[in-house]
Protein backbone atom coordinates (compact mmCIF):
# COMPACT_ATOMS: atom_id res chain seq x y z
CA UNK A 1 0.00 0.00 0.00
CA UNK A 2 1.30 3.48 -0.94
CA UNK A 3 2.18 6.00 1.75
CA UNK A 4 0.32 8.87 0.04
CA UNK A 5 -2.85 9.37 -2.00
CA UNK A 6 -2.58 9.32 -5.80
CA UNK A 7 -4.14 12.73 -6.58
CA UNK A 8 -3.15 15.18 -3.84
CA UNK A 9 -0.33 13.18 -2.23
CA UNK A 10 -2.07 13.24 1.13
CA UNK A 11 -0.10 11.17 3.70
CA UNK A 12 -1.78 8.03 4.97
CA UNK A 13 -1.75 6.87 8.60
CA UNK A 14 0.13 3.61 8.54
CA UNK A 15 -0.46 0.56 10.79
CA UNK A 16 1.16 0.81 14.21
CA UNK A 17 2.32 4.35 13.42
CA UNK A 18 3.29 6.53 16.36
CA UNK A 19 2.09 10.14 16.58
CA UNK A 20 -0.76 9.56 14.13
CA UNK A 21 -1.99 13.09 14.68
CA UNK A 22 1.06 14.46 12.86
CA UNK A 23 0.20 12.58 9.66
CA UNK A 24 -3.48 13.44 9.99
CA UNK A 25 -2.79 17.14 10.49
CA UNK A 26 -0.42 17.18 7.50
CA UNK A 27 -3.18 15.78 5.28
CA UNK A 28 -5.61 18.39 6.56
CA UNK A 29 -3.02 21.10 5.91
CA UNK A 30 -2.66 20.04 2.27
CA UNK A 31 -6.43 19.93 1.82
CA UNK A 32 -6.69 23.38 3.35
CA UNK A 33 -4.27 24.72 0.75
CA UNK A 34 -5.55 23.17 -2.49
CA UNK A 35 -9.29 22.83 -1.80
CA UNK A 36 -11.32 25.84 -2.96
CA UNK A 37 -8.00 27.29 -4.06
CA UNK A 38 -7.69 31.07 -4.11
CA UNK A 39 -4.38 32.89 -4.57
CA UNK A 40 -3.35 36.51 -4.22
CA UNK A 41 -1.56 36.61 -7.59
CA UNK A 42 -0.31 34.31 -10.31
CA UNK A 43 2.43 36.36 -11.97
CA UNK A 44 4.59 37.57 -9.07
CA UNK A 45 8.24 36.51 -9.34
CA UNK A 46 9.63 37.82 -6.04
CA UNK A 47 8.38 36.56 -2.67
CA UNK A 48 6.62 39.31 -0.68
CA UNK A 49 8.64 40.86 2.14
CA UNK A 50 6.11 40.40 4.93
CA UNK A 51 3.57 37.79 3.83
CA UNK A 52 0.65 36.92 6.06
CA UNK A 53 0.47 33.44 7.50
CA UNK A 54 -1.61 31.30 5.14
CA UNK A 55 -1.03 33.55 2.10
CA UNK A 56 -1.02 31.64 -1.20
CA UNK A 57 0.50 32.57 -4.54
CA UNK A 58 1.08 30.92 -7.89
CA UNK A 59 4.73 31.53 -8.64
CA UNK A 60 5.46 33.50 -11.82
CA UNK A 61 8.05 32.68 -14.46
CA UNK A 62 11.77 33.26 -13.73
CA UNK A 63 11.09 33.61 -10.00
CA UNK A 64 13.88 34.60 -7.60
CA UNK A 65 14.79 34.10 -3.96
CA UNK A 66 12.90 31.40 -2.09
CA UNK A 67 10.69 30.97 -5.18
CA UNK A 68 13.53 30.24 -7.58
CA UNK A 69 12.78 27.22 -9.76
CA UNK A 70 9.16 27.04 -8.54
CA UNK A 71 7.41 28.64 -11.53
CA UNK A 72 3.75 27.58 -11.76
CA UNK A 73 3.68 25.96 -8.32
CA UNK A 74 1.34 26.99 -5.51
CA UNK A 75 3.38 28.72 -2.77
CA UNK A 76 2.00 28.74 0.80
CA UNK A 77 3.53 30.87 3.57
CA UNK A 78 3.09 29.05 6.86
CA UNK A 79 4.99 29.04 10.13
CA UNK A 80 7.48 31.60 8.75
CA UNK A 81 8.43 29.37 5.82
CA UNK A 82 7.35 28.73 2.22
CA UNK A 83 5.85 25.40 1.17
CA UNK A 84 5.19 24.49 -2.45
CA UNK A 85 2.60 22.32 -4.17
CA UNK A 86 2.90 21.07 -7.74
CA UNK A 87 -0.43 21.49 -9.58
CA UNK A 88 -2.06 18.80 -11.69
CA UNK A 89 -4.30 18.97 -14.71
CA UNK A 90 -7.78 20.14 -13.73
CA UNK A 91 -6.80 22.23 -10.72
CA UNK A 92 -8.55 25.59 -10.74
CA UNK A 93 -7.82 28.73 -8.77
CA UNK A 94 -9.30 32.17 -8.23
CA UNK A 95 -6.74 34.97 -8.67
CA UNK A 96 -7.97 37.81 -6.48
CA UNK A 97 -5.56 40.42 -7.87
CA UNK A 98 -7.03 40.01 -11.36
CA UNK A 99 -10.49 38.71 -10.40
CA UNK A 100 -9.94 35.83 -12.81
CA UNK A 101 -10.54 32.09 -12.66
CA UNK A 102 -7.67 30.01 -14.03
CA UNK A 103 -7.26 26.30 -14.69
CA UNK A 104 -4.21 24.07 -15.06
CA UNK A 105 -4.09 22.01 -18.27
CA UNK A 106 -1.27 19.74 -17.13
CA UNK A 107 1.44 22.07 -18.39
CA UNK A 108 0.39 25.67 -17.69
CA UNK A 109 -2.19 27.77 -15.92
CA UNK A 110 -4.74 29.19 -18.39
CA UNK A 111 -7.23 32.02 -17.95
CA UNK A 112 -10.73 30.78 -18.64
CA UNK A 113 -11.47 34.11 -20.34
CA UNK A 114 -8.07 34.47 -22.02
CA UNK A 115 -7.25 34.67 -25.70
CA UNK A 116 -5.94 31.11 -25.45
CA UNK A 117 -9.51 29.86 -25.11
CA UNK A 118 -10.85 32.39 -27.62
CA UNK A 119 -8.60 31.05 -30.37
CA UNK A 120 -8.77 27.29 -29.83
CA UNK A 121 -8.60 25.21 -33.01
CA UNK A 122 -11.21 22.60 -32.08
CA UNK A 123 -13.81 21.98 -29.42
CA UNK A 124 -15.88 18.89 -28.69
CA UNK A 125 -18.95 19.02 -26.48
CA UNK A 126 -19.91 15.54 -25.31
CA UNK A 127 -17.65 14.03 -27.98
CA UNK A 128 -14.26 14.34 -29.64
CA UNK A 129 -14.38 16.99 -32.34
CA UNK A 130 -14.29 15.64 -35.88
CA UNK A 131 -11.50 16.57 -38.32
CA UNK A 132 -14.09 17.98 -40.74
CA UNK A 133 -16.04 19.73 -37.96
CA UNK A 134 -13.71 21.50 -35.48
CA UNK A 135 -16.73 22.36 -33.36
CA UNK A 136 -18.65 19.17 -32.64
CA UNK A 137 -21.40 18.57 -30.10
CA UNK A 138 -23.29 15.45 -29.07
CA UNK A 139 -26.42 16.40 -27.17
CA UNK A 140 -30.20 16.13 -27.22
CA UNK A 141 -31.15 19.79 -27.07
CA UNK A 142 -29.63 23.23 -27.55
CA UNK A 143 -30.94 26.71 -26.79
CA UNK A 144 -29.96 30.15 -28.01
CA UNK A 145 -31.64 33.00 -26.17
CA UNK A 146 -31.29 36.74 -26.42
CA UNK A 147 -29.65 38.71 -23.64
CA UNK A 148 -32.61 40.72 -22.30
CA UNK A 149 -32.43 44.47 -21.93
CA UNK A 150 -32.90 44.10 -18.17
CA UNK A 151 -29.67 42.08 -18.14
CA UNK A 152 -27.74 44.62 -20.18
CA UNK A 153 -28.47 43.21 -23.64
CA UNK A 154 -30.55 44.38 -26.59
CA UNK A 155 -33.31 41.79 -26.35
CA UNK A 156 -32.42 40.45 -29.81
CA UNK A 157 -30.63 37.25 -30.81
CA UNK A 158 -29.07 37.03 -34.30
CA UNK A 159 -26.89 34.24 -35.71
CA UNK A 160 -24.82 35.05 -38.79
CA UNK A 161 -23.46 32.63 -41.38
CA UNK A 162 -21.00 33.90 -43.97
CA UNK A 163 -19.46 32.45 -47.15
CA UNK A 164 -16.67 33.70 -49.38
CA UNK A 165 -18.00 33.34 -52.96
CA UNK A 166 -21.38 33.01 -54.65
CA UNK A 167 -20.61 29.47 -55.78
CA UNK A 168 -19.67 28.34 -52.27
CA UNK A 169 -22.13 26.61 -49.93
CA UNK A 170 -23.71 28.19 -46.86
CA UNK A 171 -26.53 26.79 -44.78
CA UNK A 172 -27.86 23.90 -42.76
CA UNK A 173 -27.52 20.20 -43.63
CA UNK A 174 -30.05 17.80 -42.13
CA UNK A 175 -28.98 14.17 -41.83
CA UNK A 176 -30.29 10.78 -40.72
CA UNK A 177 -27.56 8.56 -39.31
CA UNK A 178 -25.04 10.89 -41.03
CA UNK A 179 -26.69 10.59 -44.47
CA UNK A 180 -28.03 13.87 -45.84
CA UNK A 181 -31.80 14.18 -46.16
CA UNK A 182 -32.24 17.93 -46.53
CA UNK A 183 -30.55 21.28 -47.18
CA UNK A 184 -31.58 24.82 -46.33
CA UNK A 185 -29.44 27.77 -47.34
CA UNK A 186 -27.35 29.17 -50.17
CA UNK A 187 -25.93 26.06 -51.82
CA UNK A 188 -23.98 26.51 -55.04
CA UNK A 189 -25.38 30.01 -55.64
CA UNK A 190 -26.94 32.97 -53.84
CA UNK A 191 -30.48 31.63 -54.28
CA UNK A 192 -32.08 30.51 -51.03
CA UNK A 193 -32.88 26.82 -51.44
CA UNK A 194 -34.87 24.23 -49.52
CA UNK A 195 -33.93 20.81 -50.87
CA UNK A 196 -34.53 17.18 -49.97
CA UNK A 197 -32.69 13.98 -50.84
CA UNK A 198 -33.63 10.30 -50.59
CA UNK A 199 -30.03 9.07 -50.58
CA UNK A 200 -27.65 11.99 -49.92
CA UNK A 201 -26.61 12.05 -53.59
CA UNK A 202 -29.51 13.44 -55.63
CA UNK A 203 -31.39 16.55 -54.46
CA UNK A 204 -34.81 17.99 -55.23
CA UNK A 205 -35.53 21.68 -54.64
CA UNK A 206 -38.86 22.29 -52.95
CA UNK A 207 -38.32 26.05 -52.79
CA UNK A 208 -35.89 28.35 -54.56
CA UNK A 209 -35.95 32.12 -53.93
CA UNK A 210 -34.30 34.55 -56.34
CA UNK A 211 -31.91 36.92 -54.56
CA UNK A 212 -32.54 39.89 -56.82
CA UNK A 213 -36.33 39.80 -56.88
CA UNK A 214 -37.47 37.67 -53.96
CA UNK A 215 -39.62 35.63 -56.34
CA UNK A 216 -40.32 32.13 -55.00
CA UNK A 217 -40.08 29.14 -57.33
CA UNK A 218 -41.30 25.62 -56.63
CA UNK A 219 -39.24 23.69 -59.18
CA UNK A 220 -40.72 20.29 -58.37
CA UNK A 221 -44.36 21.23 -57.86
CA UNK A 222 -46.69 18.72 -59.58
CA UNK A 223 -48.32 20.74 -62.40
CA UNK A 224 -49.33 20.31 -65.99
CA UNK A 225 -51.18 21.83 -68.93
CA UNK A 226 -52.34 19.90 -71.97
CA UNK A 227 -54.39 20.42 -75.12
CA UNK A 228 -55.95 18.25 -77.79
CA UNK A 229 -54.50 18.09 -81.28
CA UNK A 230 -57.72 16.99 -82.98
CA UNK A 231 -61.42 17.77 -82.83
CA UNK A 232 -63.03 15.46 -80.27
CA UNK A 233 -66.39 14.20 -81.56
CA UNK A 234 -69.19 14.07 -78.96
CA UNK A 235 -72.50 12.34 -79.63
CA UNK A 236 -75.65 14.08 -78.41
CA UNK A 237 -76.31 13.88 -74.67
CA UNK A 238 -73.17 11.86 -73.92
CA UNK A 239 -70.30 12.58 -71.53
CA UNK A 240 -66.90 11.89 -73.05
CA UNK A 241 -63.39 12.09 -71.65
CA UNK A 242 -61.69 14.76 -73.72
CA UNK A 243 -58.54 13.36 -75.32
CA UNK A 244 -55.82 15.68 -74.01
CA UNK A 245 -52.95 14.20 -75.99
CA UNK A 246 -50.41 17.05 -76.07
CA UNK A 247 -48.76 18.69 -73.03
CA UNK A 248 -47.26 22.17 -72.90
CA UNK A 249 -45.58 21.29 -69.59
CA UNK A 250 -45.80 18.28 -67.31
CA UNK A 251 -43.70 18.63 -64.15
CA UNK A 252 -43.18 15.38 -62.25
CA UNK A 253 -44.76 13.58 -65.24
CA UNK A 254 -48.06 13.51 -63.40
CA UNK A 255 -50.22 13.74 -66.56
CA UNK A 256 -50.56 10.80 -68.97
CA UNK A 257 -51.33 11.98 -72.52
CA UNK A 258 -52.19 8.39 -73.42
CA UNK A 259 -55.08 8.15 -70.94
CA UNK A 260 -55.78 11.93 -70.69
CA UNK A 261 -55.63 11.62 -66.89
CA UNK A 262 -53.68 13.30 -64.10
CA UNK A 263 -52.44 11.02 -61.30
CA UNK A 264 -51.72 12.52 -57.87
CA UNK A 265 -48.12 11.68 -56.85
CA UNK A 266 -48.75 12.42 -53.15
CA UNK A 267 -51.65 13.18 -50.83
CA UNK A 268 -52.69 16.84 -50.89
CA UNK A 269 -54.94 19.61 -52.17
CA UNK A 270 -55.04 20.17 -55.92
CA UNK A 271 -56.63 22.73 -58.23
CA UNK A 272 -57.75 21.85 -61.78
CA UNK A 273 -59.27 23.73 -64.64
CA UNK A 274 -60.41 23.16 -68.18
CA UNK A 275 -61.46 25.14 -71.25
CA UNK A 276 -63.85 23.55 -73.76
CA UNK A 277 -64.30 25.27 -77.14
CA UNK A 278 -67.41 24.21 -79.09
CA UNK A 279 -67.32 23.34 -82.80
CA UNK A 280 -70.62 22.58 -84.48
CA UNK A 281 -71.39 19.53 -86.56
CA UNK A 282 -75.03 20.01 -87.63
CA UNK A 283 -76.37 22.73 -85.35
CA UNK A 284 -75.40 25.48 -82.93
CA UNK A 285 -78.71 25.06 -81.07
CA UNK A 286 -77.20 22.84 -78.42
CA UNK A 287 -76.00 22.97 -74.83
CA UNK A 288 -72.38 22.31 -73.88
CA UNK A 289 -71.18 21.21 -70.45
CA UNK A 290 -67.95 20.26 -68.77
CA UNK A 291 -66.85 18.67 -65.48
CA UNK A 292 -63.89 17.16 -63.65
CA UNK A 293 -64.03 13.47 -62.76
CA UNK A 294 -62.04 11.76 -59.96
CA UNK A 295 -61.08 8.09 -60.35
CA UNK A 296 -63.18 7.68 -63.48
CA UNK A 297 -66.63 7.98 -61.87
CA UNK A 298 -66.83 10.66 -59.16
CA UNK A 299 -67.64 14.22 -60.18
CA UNK A 300 -65.59 16.78 -58.25
CA UNK A 301 -68.11 19.00 -56.52
CA UNK A 302 -68.41 22.52 -57.88
CA UNK A 303 -66.56 21.71 -61.08
CA UNK A 304 -69.50 21.36 -63.46
CA UNK A 305 -70.31 24.21 -65.83
CA UNK A 306 -72.80 24.52 -68.70
CA UNK A 307 -73.78 26.95 -71.48
CA UNK A 308 -77.08 26.68 -73.33
CA UNK A 309 -77.40 27.68 -77.01
CA UNK A 310 -77.25 29.22 -79.41
CA UNK A 311 -73.47 29.26 -79.82
CA UNK A 312 -70.89 30.55 -82.22
CA UNK A 313 -68.94 27.65 -83.59
CA UNK A 314 -65.20 27.68 -82.79
CA UNK A 315 -65.64 30.74 -80.59
CA UNK A 316 -67.91 29.73 -77.72
CA UNK A 317 -65.75 28.64 -74.82
CA UNK A 318 -66.73 27.07 -71.47
CA UNK A 319 -64.24 27.40 -68.58
CA UNK A 320 -64.53 25.23 -65.47
CA UNK A 321 -62.45 24.91 -62.32
CA UNK A 322 -62.40 22.79 -59.18
CA UNK A 323 -60.42 21.99 -56.05
CA UNK A 324 -60.08 18.52 -54.56
CA UNK A 325 -58.36 16.63 -51.75
CA UNK A 326 -56.62 13.70 -53.40
CA UNK A 327 -54.83 10.66 -52.14
CA UNK A 328 -51.68 9.47 -53.85
CA UNK A 329 -52.75 7.48 -56.93
CA UNK A 330 -56.10 9.23 -57.42
CA UNK A 331 -56.81 10.29 -61.02
CA UNK A 332 -58.57 13.34 -62.47
CA UNK A 333 -59.80 13.81 -66.06
CA UNK A 334 -61.72 16.42 -68.04
CA UNK A 335 -65.10 15.43 -69.46
CA UNK A 336 -67.43 17.25 -71.85
CA UNK A 337 -70.97 16.85 -73.11
CA UNK A 338 -73.04 18.30 -75.97
CA UNK A 339 -76.84 18.11 -75.61
CA UNK A 340 -79.67 17.95 -78.18
CA UNK A 341 -77.31 17.59 -81.15
CA UNK A 342 -73.84 16.20 -81.64
CA UNK A 343 -70.71 18.32 -82.09
CA UNK A 344 -66.99 18.64 -81.39
CA UNK A 345 -64.58 20.03 -78.88
CA UNK A 346 -62.15 22.08 -80.92
CA UNK A 347 -58.51 21.07 -81.41
CA UNK A 348 -55.91 23.49 -80.06
CA UNK A 349 -58.42 25.62 -78.11
CA UNK A 350 -59.51 22.91 -75.68
CA UNK A 351 -57.23 22.56 -72.66
CA UNK A 352 -56.89 20.84 -69.28
CA UNK A 353 -54.52 21.98 -66.47
CA UNK A 354 -53.82 21.48 -62.77
CA UNK A 355 -51.31 21.79 -59.91
CA UNK A 356 -50.83 21.01 -56.22
CA UNK A 357 -51.52 23.86 -53.79
CA UNK A 358 -51.15 22.24 -50.38
> Residue 236: which region, alpha, beta or left (left: phi > 0; alpha: psi -120 to 50)?
beta
In a domain, 11, yes or no: no
Q: Which domain holds residue 294?
A: 223-356
pLDDT by residue (tens digit) across 80-114? 999 898 898 888 899 999 988 999 999 999 988 65
Give how far Cα 213 sits from Cα of 5, 34, 207, 208, 217, Å.
Answer: 71, 65, 14, 12, 11
In the predicted structure, residue 17 carries a pLDDT above the cut 50: yes
Tell me which residue of 272, 290, 304, 273 sits closest to 232, measured CA to CA. Answer: 290
| 250 & 347 share domain | yes
pLDDT by residue (tens digit) across 191-217? 999 999 999 999 999 999 999 999 999
- Count other Cβ atoms within 10 Å, centred on residue 57: 25
| 264 & 204 share domain | no
pLDDT by residue (tens digit) across 256-304? 999 999 999 999 999 999 999 999 998 988 999 999 999 999 999 999 9
| Confidence bin at 336 (pLDDT 50/70/90) | very high
Task: Give the end of a domain, one of 92, 113, 137.
Answer: 137
Interatomic CA distance for residues 18 and 146, integer angstroms: 63
Task: Give the end of a domain, one of 217, 245, 275.
Answer: 217
Interatomic CA distance for residues 93 and 7, integer angstroms: 17
In a domain, 164, yes or no: no
In a domain, 48, yes or no: yes
Task: Give the end of a domain, one of 87, 113, 137.
Answer: 137
Least confident of 1-15, 45-59, 112-126, 327-341: 1-15
Based on the structure, what is the number of domains in the chain? 3
Residue 15, pLDDT score = 63
| Confidence bin at 2 (pLDDT 50/70/90) | low
| 186 & 233 share domain | no
Task: Give yes or no for a contact between 27 and 14, defined as CB atoms under 8 angstroms apart.
Answer: no
Per-position DSSP letters for 310-340, written without gaps between them: ---TTT-EEEEEEEEEE-TT-EEEEEEEEES
The CATH number given to whatever domain includes residue 321 is 2.60.120.40
| Confidence bin at 117 (pLDDT 50/70/90) | low
| 95 & 193 share domain | no
| 244 & 211 share domain | no
In the predicted structure, residue 33 carries a pLDDT above the cut 60: no
pTM listed for this prediction: 0.64
Residue 23, pLDDT score = 55
In the predicted structure, residue 8 carries a pLDDT above the cut 60: no
In the predicted structure, residue 1 carries a pLDDT above the cut 50: no
Amino acid sequence: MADTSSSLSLPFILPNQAQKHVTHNEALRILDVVTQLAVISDDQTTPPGTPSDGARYIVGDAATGDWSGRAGEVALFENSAWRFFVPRAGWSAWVSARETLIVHDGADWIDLDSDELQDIESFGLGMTSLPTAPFSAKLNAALWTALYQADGGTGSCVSTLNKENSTDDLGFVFQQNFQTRGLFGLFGSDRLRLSTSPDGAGFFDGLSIDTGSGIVDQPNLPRFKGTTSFDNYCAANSWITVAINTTEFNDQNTFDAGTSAFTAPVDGTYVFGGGLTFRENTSTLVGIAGRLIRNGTEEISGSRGEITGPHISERTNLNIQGMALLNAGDTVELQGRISAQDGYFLAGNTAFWGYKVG
